[in-house]
Chain A
Amino acid sequence: MILIDKLCYQSKLRYVNATEKFVYAVLSLVFCIVSRSAAAAVLVFLANGILTVGKGKIPLSHYIKLLLVPAAFLLLGTAAMLIDLSRAPMDAFAFRIGEWYLTGSTASLTRVCRLWITALSAVTCLYFLSLNTTMTDILEVLRKMRLPTLLIELMMLIYRFIFLLLETASAIMTAQESRLGNRDYRTKVRSFGAMASALFVQSMRRSDALYDALESRCYDGTIRVLSQERPAKKKEIVGIALFESLLLLITIWSIIE
């Protein structure tokens, strides 16, 4: 139902040690953003592409489509940075509108290009994590990082409930669709509201029923699940360490510069 969630269960890298994947993704992300260097960004972009599509066997078409998800934000956000309204024309381009100029400078043009590269490669880091690691594994990593148990518990329950509610919502929407519930805009809005309130009632009832079920099985505030240990391979650790130290070098170099 959620594309990324579905894909991550078929990834060939799914059973690789989750902590290792988490550390790799987060470190690359941090180096990418701190250094803001094009070299680091291109390196990370390529590495994540090869890992996710090549090793993880995530279909390329899906991967490209997912990369386009933030494109609208990126376009609008960088358009605002690029275009200035000023009385004096700047060096990159200028269109005259009466007394004023719709203009931009070469400096901001390079800044925008750099931002595009950095942001896109940062997005690939996020995708590497989410397309190759299941949510339950990520939560397990967060548990190891000593996040409060209450939070982890809450996240686990929410993750589980999301799919229950999505299923209910899609059933309600199918029913509405088949009864001309989306005939025109007014009915559409009314149907959406009706669906949401029915969903809310359903979710409250379900949570009650779930609590009863948990309590009858001696629930004391923590749900204990067995986590499978998948030790990291030495080869992978060395590879990640080498890659990250390369990024570290680039970062230090770009800061000095």
Chain B
Amino acid sequence: MTKKEKILLKASIALAAVFAVAPASNAMHIMEGYLPAGYCVAWGVICLPFLIAGFVSLKNKVRENRRNMTLIAMAGAFIFVISSLKIPSVTGSCSHMTGTGLGAILLGPAAVSILGIIVLLFQAVLLAHGGLTTLGANTFSMAVAGPFVSFGLYHLCRKLKVNRRVSVFLAAFLGDLFTYCVTSIQLALAYPSEAGGVGASALKFLGVFAPTQLPLAVIEGILTVVIVIGLETYAGPELKSIGFLRKKEAK
């Protein structure tokens, strides 16, 4: 082996060791301290209108019926728990669902934005996924952009009379992919490449995270479908109470 090959080998062993030791938090949270201060503030400000809209809708729901308070809190805890549990993955690495697709389909994007920021805060403090300064950027990608795409797609598919299971899969799968694309762009904006600027940098981030994110998005889609099937079978009345199934649809 030449000297260069030896160095390469050592580097790849070190890399592999880190992957074996570190439980890879695959949900694509931008870690604490990764973004420059300006970007942290900017993404936070961009999230504000969505959060305010979410807060107002939350307030109205609670005023309408106080029982909704515990219901929404349970939904938030449900999203947190689902996203903190290890999911069956092919590679054996430890990965998590984002749960955003499921949340958006069940609760609507407005409620998810405010629940999302709370869940992300808890994930940062309790699980060290994401961080306090990157809360704004993570909220935008996971609690605003992803859910909006999921929600929009789901309803578009339903309008087009696509099979419910297919539309759930598409919504969760593409919502997850969109989250991953938005995060890559966020990273690229903060750290443009020297040769090629933001565009090239975005491509690089997309490429680097693709091997973990693409299978994850497929798994997320499949799991969301399995969960929704389970819910339709066992939780008709509950789904009706949160407005997911219309009365005639829930037998």
Residues in chain A within 8 A of chain B (CB atoms) = 2, 4-5, 26, 29-30, 32-34, 36, 66, 68-77, 79-81, 83-84, 86, 90, 105, 107-108, 111, 115, 118-123, 125-127, 129-130, 135, 138, 148, 150-151, 153-155, 157-162, 164-166, 169, 182, 185, 188-190, 192-194, 196-201, 203-208, 210-211, 214-215, 219, 221
Known contacts A68-B22, A74-B34, A154-B72, A189 near B88 by CB under 8 Å: yes
Other-chain contact of A192, B78, B195, B223, B229 (Cβ < 8 Å): B223
Contacts A73-B31, A155-B121 known; 15 new A-B pairs at CB < 8 A: A32-B33, A72-B18, A73-B24, A76-B208, A86-B195, A105-B194, A151-B118, A164-B77, A165-B81, A193-B227, A197-B230, A198-B234, A203-B77, A205-B238, A208-B70
* Bound: A200/B86 CA distance, A: 17
Q: Is the CB of B231 within 8 A of A70?
A: no
Question: Which of B55-63, B141-149, B156-164 lies at the interface with chain A?
Answer: B55-63
- Some 20 contacts from A to B, beta carbons below 8 A apart, are A69-B127, A72-B19, A76-B212, A81-B193, A90-B195, A115-B34, A118-B33, A122-B32, A122-B33, A123-B128, A135-B126, A148-B55, A155-B121, A158-B73, A182-B88, A197-B229, A197-B231, A203-B75, A208-B71, A211-B70
Q: Which B residues are CB-close (under 8 A) to A83?
A: 204
- Report A215 CB to chain B, min CB distance, Å: 8
Residues in chain B within 8 A of chain A (CB atoms) = 15, 18-19, 21-25, 29-37, 40, 55, 58-59, 62, 66-67, 69-78, 80-82, 84-85, 87-88, 90, 114, 118-119, 121-122, 124-129, 131-133, 187, 191, 193-196, 200-201, 204-205, 207-209, 212, 219, 222-223, 225-227, 229-231, 233-235, 238, 241
Other-chain contact of B226, A71, A79, A150, A192 (Cβ < 8 Å): A192
* Bound: A157/B80 CA distance, A: 13
- Report B169 CB to chain A, min CB distance, Å: 13
Q: Is the CB of A169 within 8 A of B74?
A: no
- Report B80 CB to chain A, min CB distance, Å: 5
**Most B Cβ at <10 Å: residue of A86, A125, A197, A214:** A197
- Report B70 CB to chain A, min CB distance, Å: 4
Other-chain contact of B67, A74, A108, A122, A211 (Cβ < 8 Å): A211
Q: Which A residues are CB-close (under 8 A) to B225?
A: 193
Q: Is the CB of A204 within 8 A of B71?
A: yes
Q: Is the CB of A200 within 8 A of B238?
A: yes
Q: Is the CB of A80 within 8 A of B208?
A: yes
Q: Which A residues are CB-close (under 8 A) to B74?
A: 157, 161, 165, 203-204, 206-207
Known contacts A72-B19, A199-B78, A200-B78, A190 near B33 by CB under 8 Å: no
- Report B27 CB to chain A, min CB distance, Å: 10
- Report B215 CB to chain A, min CB distance, Å: 12
Q: Is the CB of B34 within 8 A of A77?
A: yes
Q: Is the CB of B194 within 8 A of A201?
A: no
Other-chain contact of B76, A121, A158, A197, A204 (Cβ < 8 Å): A158
Q: Is the CB of B125 within 8 A of A119?
A: no
Known contacts A75-B15, A121-B33, A123-B31, A200 near B235 by CB under 8 Å: yes
Q: Name the prevailing secondary structure of the A interface residues.
A: helix
8 nearest CB pairs, A to B: A122-B33, A197-B230, A193-B226, A161-B77, A157-B73, A188-B88, A207-B74, A119-B33
* Bound: A69/B30 CA distance, A: 12
Q: Is the CB of B126 within 8 A of A2?
A: yes
Q: Is the CB of A201 within 8 A of B234?
A: yes
- Report A44 CB to chain B, min CB distance, Å: 10
* Bound: A221/B18 CA distance, A: 47
Return the chain A residue nearest B207 by Cβ: A80
Q: Is the CB of A77 within 8 A of B127?
A: no
Other-chain contact of B33, A29, A158, A200, A219 (Cβ < 8 Å): A29
* Bound: A210/B67 CA distance, A: 10
- Report A191 CB to chain B, min CB distance, Å: 8
* Bound: A182/B223 CA distance, A: 15
Q: Which A residues are CB-close (under 8 A) to B77?
A: 157-158, 160-162, 164-165, 203
Q: Which B residues are CB-close (under 8 A) to A130?
A: 124-126, 128
Return the chain A residue nearest B72 by Cβ: A154
- Report A115 CB to chain B, min CB distance, Å: 7
Q: Is the CB of B208 within 8 A of A107?
A: no
* Bound: A209/B209 CA distance, A: 43
**Most A Cβ at <10 Å: residue of B19, B69, B72, B187:** B69
- Report B98 CB to chain A, min CB distance, Å: 13
Return the chain A residue nearest B94 by Cβ: A72
Q: Which A residues are CB-close (under 8 A) to B125?
A: 4, 126, 129-130, 135, 138
Q: Which B residues are CB-close (under 8 A) to A188?
A: 88
